[in-house]
Chain A
Amino acid sequence: EVQLEESGGNMVRPGGSLRLSCAVSGFTFDDHGMSWVRQVPGKGLEWVCEINWNGGSTGYADSVKGRFTVSRDNGKKSLYLQMNSLRDEDTALYYCARNQLFGSGSDYWGQGTLVTVSS
């Protein structure tokens, strides 16, 4: 069974940093690209970033570029999101998602981890 479990969400002050993790199981992790997507409570989905199978290629939304860094450890079957210079508007539920092997969608998602940026 494919499983993704996010962790690391917390409350942090503006300007602070946080590192999210996503542990996966039930599939060959290094076959797949992975994504982070966030949802402000009561609002819509926002694509944050993605990383290819070996970490050699990444892409970021303009809203987080230069502040967030996505990485992965295939040996540990884990995906990470280092978030620096956090802003109030980064407050959201952060999901990790598995990108399809053949297709442009994300076919498995975790339950999300909540990040709250507040003074």
Chain B
Amino acid sequence: EVQLVESGGGLVQPGRSLRLSCAASGFTFDDYAMHWVRQAPGKGLEWVSGISWNSGSIGYADSVKGRFTISRDNAKNSLYLQMNSLRAEDTALYYCAKDMVAVSSGWETFDYWGQGTLVTVSS
């Protein structure tokens, strides 16, 4: 059974940093691209960042470019999101999501999602 479990969320002051983690199990982690998607309270879904299966391709939404860094540790079956210079508008539930197609040359749709970890940026 595929499981994605996010952690690391919490209350943080504007301008500070936070690191999110996503522990994956139930599939061959290093074969799949992974993503972070966020959802502000009462709002829609926003893709934040993605990383290919071999870390050769990485992308960011314009809203987080230069502040957030995605990474993965295939030996630990884990995905990370380092978030720096946090702003109030970064407040959201952050989901970890798995690409559907293994060893893809591009991006695919997301077939499994975690339950999310809540990040609140407030003074």
Q: Do A and B come from one complex?
A: no
